[in-house]
């Protein structure tokens, strides 16, 4: 009985791994960008207008492992650097995003440019542009163990297939409020010819983000945030989060991805410059109920090159 159960689980793992592959390189009409639970600390990845908005050089590195325990599940690494420049209102940034699903790897090399204008005593409005180089790898040779279409197995591996892209965004913020609209990838690139066994077409991912910080008392801040993502041919994605910051050091909160997952978030300001953030997602879909899916894990490190001169403001909560 136990042996039958194990075989059943392994068969399901194979089916899910195959599904992950087909979602990426099969006939896909709504390919989506990498997913982040801690998007509020990784804003430049989805909106180029955020570049330089922190007022100093900022570096962030993020790692996400989705659906722990499932072979071939999505895995994402992100590194970004952005800073205001000497020219008034100009911000620049560079980032690298590597997204791996099964035998498929995608890497983006991005350059972000922003220009900011003062709209009021506290408010600033930024306009941003993103230029991307996209590299695609597909290792068909790794599919021998799966029961899939033999035509896919016979395909030659694809290595470093290049395609360019551009993006744009707007971002408004004060010391307590922010809101932004963006489309990080505007060009709808088709990665395979229509005559190929498999096609994958990138669709525009539209993002809307917003958040506000309340001082509940001198020691405790509360920040609700919202991210909305719209992709043609895919369900509307809504990410809601509520975070608290205690004594400018400890951050804790919860998040909900509509009809998809609940998340727990924790952050710690090691110093005025260094922050570490952790997130754990638990899916509420049928996949989340699988015994071989242990949820999704995400960690982010961010370092701000802030100088302690004069009356320094407390670390910004976004």
Can you give the pLDDT at residue 13?
Answer: 43
Which residues touch 74 (CB under 8 Å, ≥6 apart)? 20, 34, 35, 64, 66, 67, 99, 100, 101
With H, G, I as helix, E, B as strand and everything else as coil, classify residue 197: coil
With H, G, I as helix, E, B as strand and everything else as coil, classify residue 25: helix
Tokens of 87: 């020219």
| Domains with residue ranges and CATH for the chain | 41-191+202-304 (2.40.160.40)
CB atoms within 10 A of CB 90: 15
Q: What are phi and psi of 36, to 5 degrees?
A: -130, 135
Q: Are 92 and 130 in contact (CB under 8 A)?
A: no
- Quickly tell me which residue has 């405790």 as its tokens: 220
DSSP string, 36-56: -S-GGG-GGGT-GGGTTTTSS
d(CA 33, CA 186): 12
Tokens of 21: 């592959």
pLDDT average per 10 residues of sequence, the chain (318 residues): 38 45 42 84 95 95 89 90 90 96 90 96 96 88 58 66 94 96 89 54 89 96 96 90 96 95 96 95 77 86 78 63
Can you give the pLDDT at residue 234?
Answer: 83
What does the DSSP 8-state code read for residue 261? Answer: E
Q: Are 228 and 207 in contact (CB under 8 A)?
A: yes
Beta bridge partners of 297: 65, 280
d(CA 130, CA 103): 28
Beta bridge partners of 282: 262
pTM of the model: 0.84
d(CA 55, CA 263): 30
State the sign of the Cα–Cα–Cα–Cα dihedral 246, 249, 254, 256: positive
Residue of 28, 13, 20 lying closest to 100 (CA atoms): 20
Taking CB atoms within 8 Å and a gap of at least 24, the contacts of 189-194 are 189/134, 189/163, 189/165, 191/136, 191/161, 191/163, 192/25
Can you give the pLDDT at residue 90?
Answer: 96
Beta bridge partners of 230: 206
């Amino acid at each position: 009985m136990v042996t039958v159960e194990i075989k059943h689980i392994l068969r399901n793992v194979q089916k899910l791994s195959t599904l992950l592959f087909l979602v990426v390189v099969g006939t896909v009409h709504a390919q989506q960008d990498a997913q982040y639970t801690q998007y509020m600390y990784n804003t430049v990845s989805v909106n180029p207008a955020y570049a330089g908005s922190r007022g100093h050089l900022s570096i962030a590195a993020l790692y996400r492992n989705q659906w722990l325990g499932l072979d071939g599940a999505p895995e994402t690494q992100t590194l970004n650097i952005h800073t205001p420049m000497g020219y008034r209102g100009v911000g620049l940034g560079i980032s690298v995003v590597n997204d791996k699903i099964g035998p498929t790897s995608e890497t983006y090399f991005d350059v972000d440019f922003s220009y900011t204008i003062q709209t009021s005593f506290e408010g600033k409005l930024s306009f941003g542009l993103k230029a991307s180089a996209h590299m695609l790898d597909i290792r068909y040779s790794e599919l021998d163990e799966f029961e899939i279409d033999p035509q896919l197995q016979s395909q030659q591996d694809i290595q470093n297939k290049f395609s360019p892209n551009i993006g744009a965004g707007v971002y408004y913020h004060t010391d307590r409020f922010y809101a932004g609209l963006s489309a990080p990838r505007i060009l709808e690139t088709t990665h395979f010819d229509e005559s190929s066994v498999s096609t994958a077409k990138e669709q525009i991912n539209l993002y809307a983000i917003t958040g506000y910080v309340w001082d509940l008392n001198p020691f405790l801040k509360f920040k609700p945030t919202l991210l909305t993502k719209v992709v043609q041919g895919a369900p509307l994605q809504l990410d809601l989060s509520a975070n608290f910051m205690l004594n400018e050091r400890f951050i804790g909160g919860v998040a909900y991805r509509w009809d998809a997952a609940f998340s727990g978030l924790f952050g710690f300001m090691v110093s005025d410059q260094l922050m570490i953030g952790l997130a754990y997602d638990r899916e509420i879909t049928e996949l989340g109920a699988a015994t071989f899916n242990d949820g999704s894990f995400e960690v982010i490190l961010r370092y701000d090159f802030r100088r302690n001169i004069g009356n320094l403001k407390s670390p910004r909560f976004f």
